[in-house]
Amino acid sequence: MNETSEFHQEPVNGEVGGAPASSEQKQALISEEINRRQFLTTMLGLTGSVIGLSLAVPLTGYALSPAMVKEKTEFVPVGSVTDFKAGEPIKVNYSFRKKDGWVDTEVKKTAWVVKKDDNNITVFSPNCTHLGCGYVWDAPSKQFKCPCHGAVFSMEGEVVAGPPPRPLDRFETKVADGKLLIGKLLEGEG
Ligand code: FES
């Protein structure tokens, strides 16, 4: 009975097909190995770059999101210049949209508008500078009066009587297309 046995011998280092490799064949094997390593290194580098980019894009998006963008002062219209009469302060209601992160809400506020003429309009915060109560305009005396602790302010916002430490706070103002706009609230200076 004939038994045939087959076996396959893997080339060992420095041998090709079981036979000792020539120097040219050795050189070809070394070059092939170097090319393979270079290919793997390049692929690893590319994979790292892709992963880094995929992480960087969402982070950049987050950094530019409304939550991270600093709120800038915007001017808000409170009425037409012709709505106000000289020497007659009037309390106005106004609103604006406020973004707090992803939350967008409408904020409603009030302010006192004091007009002397079309080029001289002052807008005051509605809160007394003592402890923040709302004050009113007293037409007979032509003064603002706070009911909480008896403060009195002139039409220009100066403290006439009572405990407030400083004049009324006022808003930055500007007029555009006949509209009166207010911006940042400035603390009244004593
Ligand atoms: S809060 Fe106006 S006087 Fe005190």
Which CATH number do you get for residue 120? Answer: 2.102.10.10
Q: What phi and psi values does residue 104 have, to the nearest 5 degrees? A: -115, 110
- How far does the centroid of ligand 1 lie from the alpha carbon of residue 162, in Å? 8
pLDDT digits (tens, 9 = 90+) for 55-70: 655 555 445 444 444 4
**Token output for 85:** 């009469």
Whether residue 52 is found in the same domain as residue 82: no
Does 70 fall in a domain? Answer: no
Q: What kind and span of H or E run contains 170?
A: strand 170-176
Give tens-digit pLDDT for 25-53: 777 777 777 677 786 777 777 766 666 66
Query: From atom 1 of ligand 1, which residue's Cα is the shortest distance away?
Result: 131
Same-domain check for residues 84 and 107: yes
Tens of pLDDT along 80-111? Answer: 999 999 999 999 999 999 888 899 999 999 99
Q: How far is the CA of 166 from the centre of ligand 1 (A)?
A: 11
Residue nearest to atom 3 of ligand 1 (CA): 149
The binding-site residues of ligand 1, defined as CB within 6 angstroms of any ligand atom, are: 128, 130-131, 133, 146, 148-149, 151, 162-164
Range of the domain at 50: 15-63
Same domain, 40 and 80: no
The structure tokens 């004593």 sit at 190
- Co-location of 127 and 56 in the same domain: no
Instruction: Yes or no: say if 123 and 173 are a contact pair by the CB < 8 Å rule.
Output: yes
CA distance 183 to 167: 18
- This prediction has a pTM of 0.63
**Domain shared by 173 and 100, yes or no:** yes
Residues 101 and 55 in one domain: no
Percent of the chain at pLDDT > 90 equals 54
Cβ–Cβ < 8 Å for 101, 66: yes
Looking at the structure, tell me whether residues 57 and 81 fall in a common domain. Answer: no
